[in-house]
Chain A
């Protein structure tokens, strides 16, 4: 597989087996850091406000985390391979807008299929767009040999502008009957758990399996560790990278598919700053921004952690709710500081 790394630290996820840690189990403990923090935070939250620990509230928090969480799972792949994607929020907004326009057009057209059929068509369109945008990113980065930061900075502007143009500066709203048909996708519970949480769980499990149990996942981590060496090891670097962006595009599409029924509309401010929230979740979860190693479950825990912080601050009156982002910012910096020795 890969030659022995020359850098001193080793990440457990880069090889499927026990890690060569000095103290056995210490690396495990470090990796479990975010999870321990989350558990402690939940206990603190339950003390501060008993309403926090209710099933309804926790389900609400998980449902709201689902959008950023699903995108963050895709973002983990991209970051582990050494890239970045700043355009995910704008991509989500554009996909939402395109879906709504298409569905409204179908319902107003000559021979409209039933509402379920139209919603299904909208969902399929979203997935196609997500994959297409992701692939475009991948190709620009690999074939065009442009920095991922720059490519996605450009598409960030392009996507949002296209949505603003589509909506003429206002809101794109889904036809009311379609919105009624579509709303169970966000608001319905299956066995007491909301649909978005199920989808989030499935995406997280799929992501973990792909990253840790497939050859592709190993390749992605190898590329992030050292691209040159991966190339020499006959890994098809360009193809793997394009695939990471494609996966992220599909994740963004899935998140959008869950988001549209919530409010039923897309505006120029939809999805704003989602990219930074997704990246924050990835970082807090333990993945280094430099790439090479990453943990999907860490990302999931990171996303939930940031959401829980916001929720606890909302439910208690310790500080003004306007300071929520400040607390999350402090958490991100502290976590990055604690992880700085890992590579």
Chain B
């Protein structure tokens, strides 16, 4: 607080110094490597797969922060869409993130909140469940959802010799669920002898899958195969079938290569003889790719797809990782 008015020469010198400093800062900012604060917004471990996601995300954080001192990674998990929307906002306002890796809980609900932070200059990588407006994301990393739906359809058609009744359990309403189911249905259409009786949402959740399967078993007296579309849901399906003491179901096909399901395939289980890979490790890959690119000020390719493979008794050994959480 000055009580004497500064002389004109002093104030103009101050102004010149301030301007020079600002220019200098601007210049040096452009040349120096970017200091990256990477926000990671993922679902809480509601089921085995998301448990794997959380574990891999924290692995990525540990390894990347140790290797890069100018990188800060903040991992937030959310149980509901408003919570995740809040976290995305806080990561920008409070933590001042300049890059975001997000696995949206629901594609439609998170599109607006993510679009808002992208418009404020945050680089956005979306993993797995894509947003309904691709303009709201800079890069997309996912497993091969089309193969995830196609491979079980091919396998089941062969297993049932082209004839039979199948029921489908869908996941949570999201773009990837739509991709998978559409790919499955497209493949099944090539086998006119196979009839899809129904496709209801199981939300990738054992309890919901159990309830939905119970309803199916009550409504349909003859079911040849169940596409459970997820290994966690497959557990719910198997329990429901066991409880109803039904013998008509020949195969339950899950998905994502959870270690207990791969073990069943390895051991030659009666109902679970095949699976398809879709590892939660892709969050680790997405975080690593985003951090590496942003530290250099670069962008990622718009779409990166990690392939899915059919797992049968012959190659199950390669997909069995007992120490991993999923």
Contact B86–A264 (Cβ < 8 Å): no
Bound Cα distance A272, B81 (Å):
12
Chain A residues near B86: list those with CB within 8 A. 60, 64
Contact A267–B106 (Cβ < 8 Å): yes
Bound Cα distance A64, B113 (Å):
13
Chain A residues near B201: list those with CB within 8 A. 169-170
Tell me whether A263 and B112 are in contact in the complex, defined as CB-CB below 8 angstroms, given that A170-B201, A171-B106, A176-B133 are known contacts.
yes
Tell me whether A54 and B90 are in contact in the complex, defined as CB-CB below 8 angstroms, given that A169-B200, A267-B106 are known contacts.
no
Tell me whether A265 and B116 are in contact in the complex, defined as CB-CB below 8 angstroms, given that A60-B90, A64-B86, A315-B94 are known contacts.
no
B79-122 toward A: CB 8 Å interface, digit per residue (1/0)? 01110011001100111000000000010111111001000000
Contact B81–A263 (Cβ < 8 Å): yes
Bound Cα distance A54, B132 (Å):
32
Chain A residues near B164: list those with CB within 8 A. none
A56 in contact (CB, < 8 A) = yes
Contact B94–A51 (Cβ < 8 Å): yes
Contact A171–B113 (Cβ < 8 Å): no
Bound Cα distance A64, B81 (Å):
13
Chain B residues near A224: list those with CB within 8 A. none
B173 in contact (CB, < 8 A) = yes
Chain B residues near A262: list those with CB within 8 A. 82, 85, 112-113
Q: Which single member of B95, B111, B200 contacts A264 (CB below 8 Å)?
A: B111
Residue of B nearest to A315 (CB): B94
Q: Which single member of A60, A173, A314 contacts B108 (CB below 8 Å)?
A: A173
Residue of B nearest to A187 (CB): B116
Chain B: minimal CB distance from A57 (Å): 6
Chain B residues near A261: list those with CB within 8 A. 112
A269 in contact (CB, < 8 A) = yes
Q: Which single member of A51, A64, A173 contacts B132 (CB below 8 Å)?
A: A173
Q: Which single member of B94, B109, B111, B133 contacts A267 (CB below 8 Å)?
A: B109
Contact A264–B93 (Cβ < 8 Å): no
Within 8 A of B (CB), among A234-277: 261-265, 267, 269, 272
Chain A residues near B113: list those with CB within 8 A. 262-263
A226 in contact (CB, < 8 A) = no
Bound Cα distance A173, B133 (Å):
12
B117-134 toward A: CB 8 Å interface, digit per residue (1/0)? 000000000000000110
Within 8 A of B (CB), among A291-343: 314-315
Chain B residues near A60: list those with CB within 8 A. 86, 89-90, 93
B18-34 toward A: CB 8 Å interface, digit per residue (1/0)? 00000000000000000
Chain B residues near A171: list those with CB within 8 A. 106, 108-109, 173
Chain B residues near A264: list those with CB within 8 A. 108-109, 111-112
Chain B: minimal CB distance from A48 (Å): 13
Contact A314–B90 (Cβ < 8 Å): yes
Best-surrounded residue of A57, A169, A315 (most CB of chain B within 10 A): A169
A208 in contact (CB, < 8 A) = no
A156-191 toward B: CB 8 Å interface, digit per residue (1/0)? 000000000000011101001001000100010000
Chain A residues near B112: list those with CB within 8 A. 179, 183, 187, 261-264
Q: Which single member of A169, A263, A267, A269 contacts B85 (CB below 8 Å)?
A: A263
Chain B: minimal CB distance from A246 (Å): 27
Chain B: minimal CB distance from A284 (Å): 21
Best-surrounded residue of A51, A179, A265, A272 (most CB of chain B within 10 A): A265
Contact A263–B93 (Cβ < 8 Å): no
Chain B residues near A57: list those with CB within 8 A. 90, 93-94
Chain A: minimal CB distance from B201 (Å): 5
Within 8 A of A (CB), among B58-82: 80-82
Contact B82–A263 (Cβ < 8 Å): yes
Chain B: minimal CB distance from A4 (Å): 48
Chain B: minimal CB distance from A176 (Å): 6
Chain A: minimal CB distance from B95 (Å): 8
Bound Cα distance A272, B83 (Å):
12
Chain A: minimal CB distance from B114 (Å): 11
Residue of A nearest to B110 (CB): A263
Bound Cα distance A88, B100 (Å):
34
CB<8 Å pairs between A and B, sample of 5: A171-B106, A171-B109, A263-B113, A265-B81, A272-B80
10 other A-B residue contacts (CB within 8 Å) besides A170-B173, A263-B82: A56-B93, A171-B108, A171-B109, A173-B108, A173-B109, A179-B111, A262-B82, A264-B109, A269-B80, A314-B90
Among all A-B residue pairs, the 3 with the closest Cβ atoms: A170-B173, A173-B108, A263-B109
